[in-house]
Amino acid sequence: MLSAASEPPKAEELGEFGKKLAGFEDTPLLSEPGPSSKSYTPKYLTRLQKFSFGLGHVINDIMGVLWFSFALTFLQIVVQLRPAVSASLLFFGQLVDAASTPIVGMLIDRFGSKRNWNTLGVTLTSISFPFIFHIWYDTSWKIIFYYAIAIVVFQLGWAIVQISHLSLIPEMTIYLQERAELTRLRYTFFVCSNITIYILAFFVLRKSQPMDADRPIIGPRDAWKFEVVALIAVLIGISCSTIFQCVLQTPAKPNVGHSSFDENIQRWKKICSICRSTKLYLVALLHTTSRVSHTLNLVYLPFFINETRVRSAGILAIAPLLNFLAAFLASVYVNTTSKLYPNQKILFVIGTAFGLMNCVSIYFHPDDQNDPEYIYAASIFCGIGSALTIVTSLCIAANFIGNDTAYGAFIYSLITFSEKISNGILIFIIEYVKHIDLIGTNHYYKFVLTVINGVLALSGFLFLMLLPSSVCNST
């Protein structure tokens, strides 16, 4: 999975930026001045660099799965806030994340080291996250205020960690295949983090199984269990981030001197040029459909299980665990056979097919039986589909950045902005429709996981077909 350091490859193995830095082309970069081939020779990353890079986003991965999988369940079923209020808090968090992401991206590109920004983000998330899964005993409006403050700090820190880590990919290496490898490795750590949390949740929540079949499997009595899981998640995340900071050696940036007025003007012109690119919005929409579909499964699978006749608290952890085990195997397969798929479109289409199979499995789940097999099958299909589509969309994003590494954080922030705002809006609409009982069905969350996810999968396929093959090639 991780290749050892070796001599620089030939010109044909480099991206455009790599050719210019390595001296294969004499034309200077348009976006940033590059050093001469005599002062800078690109090399492959070592195994240790790649491994430590993968640890840098673990804290976000662990907290992200708890946020999307259990926050709405905790606020609505344990804290017993009204569905509209709990959904509004989740929506508010996504708005904060989305609004701060472009600003964070521009600041990271302009000021300080990306590793220092990562440290700031880790500090903010570590302090605030446990308070989101703490049950407060006060008046309703004060409880909402407490959660809102914790969510603001958490989402700001989350955005800083995400963008600072993503933007390291094009900065650490100029080789397209290595960028794709770092992206896949990042997702592998994401999957491993999720598996860890779901195993932990399984052992903590499995004792919640009620004696009465008509009694909900989760309730206010389980508040302390969510607090324990959240605290352990923070400790794991801090440990991984510490290793990331201590071990990772990022390549030194070429010394380009202080920015003059003309250079700042050129920078803003370049930013405007990026924002006018149709490819940017297609890549953003591709990533959005992949991420939103994955998020809906994380958020609403517990609600779907709760509205079925399946009465085992352990399934709340087993089903997502199967999801991420399947995703892990899929990501390992892609890592070891990446040369068989030089065009990312092939992998995305395969992932879309598995995503549709997930929808079919949920749809045919028998409503009146204590039968978890369909849920398990859907979780496996969802895991494989999400792994392929999310990794592919991020690889395509890295290809799109190309030689514009000085704008990497800004581009990634724009791409993830649409995902975050879409997540918040869609979850709010879903909960609002549930609240007013517009559809009038006892199996509302089955509708969410089949129809909406199906539309997202087909939309992602459409956006993929509109992208030129040059952006989708990893060689």
200-259 pLDDT per residue, tens:
887 887 665 554 555 556 777 878 888 999 999 999 999 999 998 888 766 555 544 455
Distance CA 359, CA 446 (A): 9
Contact 191, 387 (CB under 8 A): yes
Per-residue pLDDT at 457: 94
For residues 286 and 272, what is the distance between their CA atoms, to the nearest angstrom?
21
- What is the rounded (10 degree) CA torsion for 278, 284, 287, 289? -90
Tell me phi and psi for residue 473, to 5 degrees.
-85, 135
Burial of 116-147, coded b for 16+ CB within 10 Å and e otherwise, reads ebbbebbbbbbebbebbbbbeeeeeeebbeeb
Q: CA dihedral defined by 261, 267, 268, 274, rounded to 10 degrees?
A: 170
Retrieve residue 89's tokens.
């808090």
d(CA 446, CA 442): 9
What three-state secondary structure class fits 343? strand
b/e string for 17-35 if b means 16 or more Cβ within 10 A?
Answer: bbbbbbbebeeebebbebe
Residues 113 and 440: beta-carbon distance below 8 Å: no
CA–CA separation, 317 and 327 (whole Å): 15
Predicted local confidence at residue 403, as pLDDT: 66
CA distance 131 to 377: 35
* Tokens at 108, concatenated: 């990271």
Each residue's pLDDT tens digit in the chain (475 positions)?
444 444 445 544 444 444 444 444 433 333 333 444 444 456 777 888 888 888 889 999 999 888 887 888 888 888 888 877 888 898 898 889 888 888 888 888 777 778 889 999 999 999 999 999 988 877 778 889 999 999 999 999 999 999 888 888 888 777 777 887 888 888 888 888 888 887 888 788 766 555 455 555 677 787 888 899 999 999 999 999 999 888 876 655 554 445 556 666 777 777 787 788 888 889 889 999 999 998 898 888 878 887 776 666 567 778 888 888 898 888 888 777 666 666 778 889 999 999 999 999 998 887 766 677 888 899 999 999 998 998 888 888 878 877 666 677 778 888 888 888 888 888 888 888 877 766 666 778 888 899 999 999 999 999 999 988 777 766 5
Residue from 431, 153, 442, 414 nearest 285 by CA? 414
> Are the beta carbons of 446 and 362 closer than 8 angstroms?
yes
In this structure, the number of other CB atoms found within 10 A of the CB of residue 330 comes to 25
Residue closest to 365 by CA, chosen among 278, 422, 446: 446
424-450 pLDDT per residue, tens: 888 888 888 877 766 666 778 888 899
Residues facing 473 on adjacent strands: 343
